[in-house]
Amino acid sequence: MIPIDLKQETIMSQIQRLISSINTEHTLFIQTHNFPDHDAVASAFALKQFFLNFHIKSNLVYEGEIQRDSLKNMIKSLKIDIRDSKEYELSADDKIIIVDGCKHNKNVTDLIGDEIAVIDHHNVDSPDDVPFCDIRSDYGACSSIIYSYYEESGIEIPHTVATALMIGINMDTALLTRDVSAHDVSAYSNLYSLADMRMVNTILRNYIQVKDLKFYKDAINNLKIRKNFAFCYFQDGCNQNLLGILGDFVLSLKEVDFVVLCAENKRKINFSVRNENADWNAAAFIERVLEGIGFGGGHTDMAGGIITNLSLFNENKIYDSFISQLGI
């Protein structure tokens, strides 16, 4: 199959080609990146509902776990049926669409089945072995891409879908303050009157718990700050999603422009990077720092990484390597 060249086709013709390529005799799965966040789940849910307009059924799956209670509340409130992939018996004939992630990325498990599409907003290369790739790295949220499918096709957006997409956009762009584009702002504006904004605001406001305060204390007590760079290693662990929240918290310091937080989780080291210096690129820096010992990537403003071999992690070397990359 020849990959679709998105530059040569309108959005609607791309969508129509994707829809026509789906054989309803095969089971379709929509897969998020591992340990999904609000944007990933919202995108998968909205895409599933979009396909129902064309009599295409699908199942939502992920690897890892749903970690944040605010995301669990969103899933419960909107009755989103998303499950660990282990709950299904996938076969080689099954079809898979990956959203908010990309095939061959380390944060997307290669499930049994045939990947027919990738829809993502991260700075990644289109995989040659996937026929449909809609990768828009200039978008702040994958939810905005899925919104464009509804807009271009003229399909009415259900109340629950609009609510999910609003949460996804707000979470991934930090309330339209991080890596946001005109596309995200347009989607936000058009979704505002369609969504349950009371639910959206409740989810956005209640994203940490009392038990999380310990990690804020650990961050404050153990934070290393050199000029406008802040670094902290949580040796007792801290889940991936909370690392991101803590990264935003540290970045709110007036003196800090670049934040790197890392933690040991299940014999692996997870990284979360936040940046607001226009001259720096978070994704490029973490990719270079972890070269040969792990993997990293993401956006200019927000990135992540992982070291799967714990023996390769050295806190001081990682710290010094980031200082070298930043030139401070």
pLDDT digits (tens, 9 = 90+) for 131-144: 999 999 999 999 99
- Encode 213-245: b = buried (16+ Cβ within 10 Å), e = exposed: eebeebbeeebeeeebbbbbbbeeebbbbbbbb
Domain with CATH 3.10.310.40 in the chain: 210-326
**Cβ(63)–Cβ(90) under 8 Å?**
no
How many whole angstroms separate alpha carbon 70 and alpha carbon 203?
6
Instruction: Give the per-residue pLDDT at 90.
Output: 95
Cα three-residue angle 239-122-99, rounded to 5 degrees? 80
Give domain 6-205's CATH architecture. Alpha-Beta Complex (3.90)
**9 pLDDT band (50/70/90 cuts)?**
low
If you average pLDDT over residues 2-15, what whole number do you get? 60
pLDDT at 223 over 60: yes
Beta strands in 19-103 (DSSP E): 28-31, 59-62, 82-84, 95-99
Rg (CA), the chain: 19
- Encode 1-14: b = buried (16+ Cβ within 10 Å), e = exposed: eeebebeeeeeeeb
If you average pLDDT over residues 78-90, what whole number do you get? 97
How many whole angstroms separate alpha carbon 266 and alpha carbon 289?
21
Task: List CB contacts of 137: < 8 A, sequence separation 6 or more.
Answer: 121, 122, 123, 124, 299
How many whole angstroms separate alpha carbon 89 and alpha carbon 195?
35
Instruction: Give the per-residue pLDDT at 23.
Output: 79
How many whole angstroms separate alpha carbon 134 and alpha carbon 136?
6
Task: List CB contacts of 158: < 8 A, sequence separation 6 or more.
Answer: 49
- Does residue 23 or residue 50 have the better pLDDT? 50
pLDDT at 1 over 80: no
If you average pLDDT over residues 208-219, what whole number do you get? 95
If you average pLDDT over residues 77-85, what whole number do you get? 98
pLDDT digits (tens, 9 = 90+) for 226-263: 999 999 999 999 988 899 999 999 999 999 999 999 99
**106 pLDDT band (50/70/90 cuts)?**
confident
pLDDT digits (tens, 9 = 90+) for 155-206: 999 999 999 999 999 999 999 998 899 999 999 999 999 999 999 999 999 8
**123 pLDDT band (50/70/90 cuts)?**
confident
- The token duo for 145 is 């891409």
| DSSP string for residues in 49-61 | HHHHTTT---EEE
**81 pLDDT band (50/70/90 cuts)?**
very high
* Count of C-beta atoms within a 10 Å radius of residue 158: 16
Residue 145 three-state SS: helix
- Third-level CATH fold of 210-326: Diaminopimelate Epimerase; Chain A, domain 1 (3.10.310)
Task: List CB contacts of 287: < 8 A, sequence separation 6 or more.
Answer: 295, 296, 297, 305
Give the H/E segment covering residue 200. helix 197-205
**20 pLDDT band (50/70/90 cuts)?**
confident
The length of the chain, given as a count of residues: 328
If you average pLDDT over residues 212-236, what whole number do you get? 96
Average pLDDT value over all residues in the chain? 93
pLDDT digits (tens, 9 = 90+) for 299-319: 899 999 999 999 999 999 999
Q: How many alpha carbons fall within 13 Å on the CB side of residue 197?
A: 7
Q: What is the pTM of this model?
A: 0.85
How many whole angstroms separate alpha carbon 47 and alpha carbon 142?
11
Domain with CATH 3.90.1640.10 in the chain: 6-205
- Does residue 297 or residue 215 have the better pLDDT? 215
Sheet holding 28-31, edge to edge: 82-84, 59-62, 28-31, 95-99, 114-120, 132-135
Task: List CB contacts of 289: < 8 A, sequence separation 6 or more.
Answer: 296, 305, 318, 321, 322, 325
How many whole angstroms separate alpha carbon 141 and alpha carbon 177?
12
Residue 223 three-state SS: coil
**4 pLDDT band (50/70/90 cuts)?**
very low
